[in-house]
Structure 1
């Protein structure tokens, strides 16, 4: 190859890599910090301090910030998703464990797992509106499309709780399988999918009729959800040490694929092109990168202790 052509090829390769590169943020609950990972080299480039006992992270609705929930220090820490630099802290958010914004962006909800409570805030300024008792052990949440209800899993009482956001009152509870964790509203707004961590399935709930209609067998310790981005499929992390991730069809309500992902896969993120799924391995101090074309883990990225959240800007649609 001629030198000029070789140089041109190198430049094009570098440009392609740089266009793909960005920073992934991974929350290390056990180390009270976040890992910054270059998504092109798949290497950790640094860490940023977070807070006392951080659990879960999520982006603001416009993706301008990533919020880390700080359960013991009673605060929210905002990070720039492009650089990982801290932006601000919001104090006096009591025991935030899991976070969520309503689809209409009016409500910010924080589950207080340790205090058996769900706190409702105005999303505009994080001012407290109501505290709803939610025994026992409120964990994950989902919303209906109309932003009328937030649905919360109660891990230790094996129930889901529905709260009316307009009245800020609980309206119903129903029993589900043992140790419910993640909860997901299907794209058609018809069913709630509940990951049953104490077993090996996803329970399908007709939330308007308030009844269980099906159990989708996945794998041991079904735990959390992430939309595939195609408006039809959703990933389910099965958080055992052996570990796997299931792909569930929300129209047929069936598992269509399953991938081996060891180390306790928990929270997930998916590339905008849909080719890679990243999953935090809670028990292995790693992020597992699943190649969705090869249907196998292609890389394992060392991070901190008990990684409990992952985010990057160039992700697939949340549908």
Structure 2
């Protein structure tokens, strides 16, 4: 079966479950340190298959859960890109095999990806700074946009549930707001020291981002694109904002929880999604990064990038209940 045969043929009305997938069929992880794409049993978390493939970072699951897209970021070391990545790998989730590679040409360092209402895939290029759209019917990079992010290392993007706005975080700059229908930047949200992880509330009314100085959580109203509240995180540690401030954020499928993982400190937070200022601090293993939620939002799986582990978290009690080996250093993962 060709990759193109999986494409959506109808308009997607709500992108929140599309871009925050879960499921019961499997668990896929991108082992950045181990240069592999891993498939795990969704219940036991045991590794079932390993595809050797280097320099991938992020993963997105197609709306029909037939394909996964893995971005070939390249390699960043000692403050510079030592290898450039310029492909997005297309993985058939049924056969658990790479079926196609989408070249991105001069646009380097593809990282986070999100789908729009047409089922096309938007990607941010961290090395060169552009925002791009992959046509998932032709499996080509169809459009690219200079959004003013060159040199600012933009790692993540989120798209509103109605597909009209894209928010791009920059490690070394402001949050950029891109209007999808008009194909243009509409504003920037002033964050002088940059942000990394970002997440939209399930209803799309608020964007949350962790800033790179004190690691406070910023609550941004999407109607005005202004910061409405600054939430200090319990247990945040001081570290070098240029190298180790990564906080990832993700809402649970049932909308009850916001989970944040703090790479620099080896802790995570479980927030009340209705009021993220209410949160529990939970120490876990070194280098927490990716977050995956099971289908009923009972547990979150966190990848501990720096020690090759998964930690299973019971969300209601905010307790770590299990730790299992998982690759050498998984950056991103999701159920499907």
Q: TM-score range by the shorter chain?
A: 0.7 to 0.9
What is the match of residue 58 of structure 1? 60
By how many angstroms is 1:156 displaced? 0.9
Structure 1 segment 104-115 matched on structure 2, within 5 A: 104-115=117-128
TM-score between the two structures when normalised by the length of structure 1: 0.82
The structure-2 alpha-carbon separation of the partners of 1:106 and 1:43, relative to structure 1 and needing over 3 Å to count, comes to closer
Q: Matched residues in 2 for 1:237 and 1:83: separation?
A: 31
8 Å CA contact 1:110, 1:118 repeated in 2: yes
- The answer to whether 1:116 aligns with 2:140 is no
What is the match of residue 228 of structure 1? 252
Give the paired residue count.
Answer: 290
What is the match of residue 28 of structure 2? 25
Q: State the structure with bigger RCO (CA 8 A, min sep 6), 1 or 2.
A: 2
TM-score between the two structures when normalised by the length of structure 2: 0.78
- Residue 89 (structure 1) aligned to one of 94, 101, 104: 101
8 Å CA contact 2:29, 2:334 repeated in 1: yes
Q: Matched residues in 2 for 1:184 and 1:87: separation?
A: 30
What is the match of residue 291 of structure 1? 314
Q: Where does structure 1 lack aligned partners over 5 or more consecutive residues?
A: 1-19, 314-319
Q: Deviations over 1:234-271 (max 9, x none)?
A: 2222222432232242x334233333222122111111
The structure-2 alpha-carbon separation of the partners of 1:110 and 1:100, relative to structure 1 and needing over 3 Å to count, comes to same
- The answer to whether 1:138 aligns with 2:154 is yes
Q: Matched residues in 2 for 1:47 and 1:222: separation?
A: 26
By how many angstroms is 1:123 displaced? 4.1
What is the match of residue 113 of structure 2? 99
- The answer to whether 1:303 aligns with 2:313 is no
8 Å CA contact 1:244, 1:262 repeated in 2: no
What is the match of residue 156 of structure 1? 172
By how many angstroms is 1:109 displaced? 1.3
Q: Deviations over 1:156-177 (max 9, x none)?
A: 12x1001121232212112126
Q: Deviations over 1:207-251 (max 9, x none)?
A: 3323211012224256122221223432222222432232242x3
Q: Matched residues in 1 for 2:24 and 2:209: separation?
A: 34
By how many angstroms is 1:81 displaced? 3.0
The structure-2 alpha-carbon separation of the partners of 1:177 and 1:306, relative to structure 1 and needing over 3 Å to count, comes to farther
The structure-2 alpha-carbon separation of the partners of 1:121 and 1:44, relative to structure 1 and needing over 3 Å to count, comes to closer
* Secondary structure of the corresponding residue to residue 39 of structure 1: coil
The structure-2 alpha-carbon separation of the partners of 1:23 and 1:177, relative to structure 1 and needing over 3 Å to count, comes to same
- The answer to whether 1:175 aligns with 2:190 is yes
What is the match of residue 217 of structure 1? 232
Q: Matched residues in 2 for 1:145 and 1:128: separation?
A: 22
Structure 1 segment 233-272 matched on structure 2, within 5 A: 233-249=257-273, 251-272=274-295
8 Å CA contact 1:97, 1:110 repeated in 2: yes
The structure-2 alpha-carbon separation of the partners of 1:209 and 1:23, relative to structure 1 and needing over 3 Å to count, comes to closer
Q: Matched residues in 1 for 2:232 and 2:222: separation?
A: 20
Q: Where does structure 2 lack aligned partners over 5 or more consecutive residues?
A: 1-22, 74-83, 237-244
By how many angstroms is 1:151 displaced? 0.8
The structure-2 alpha-carbon separation of the partners of 1:198 and 1:82, relative to structure 1 and needing over 3 Å to count, comes to farther
Structure 1 segment 4-43 matched on structure 2, within 5 A: 22-43=25-46
Q: Matched residues in 1 for 2:48 and 2:247: separation?
A: 29
8 Å CA contact 2:254, 2:297 repeated in 1: no
Report which of the two structures shows the higher radius of gyration computed on alpha carbons.
1
8 Å CA contact 2:60, 2:68 repeated in 1: yes
- The answer to whether 1:188 aligns with 2:200 is no
> RMSD in angstroms over aligned alpha carbons?
2.4
The structure-2 alpha-carbon separation of the partners of 1:21 and 1:41, relative to structure 1 and needing over 3 Å to count, comes to farther
The structure-2 alpha-carbon separation of the partners of 1:23 and 1:108, relative to structure 1 and needing over 3 Å to count, comes to closer
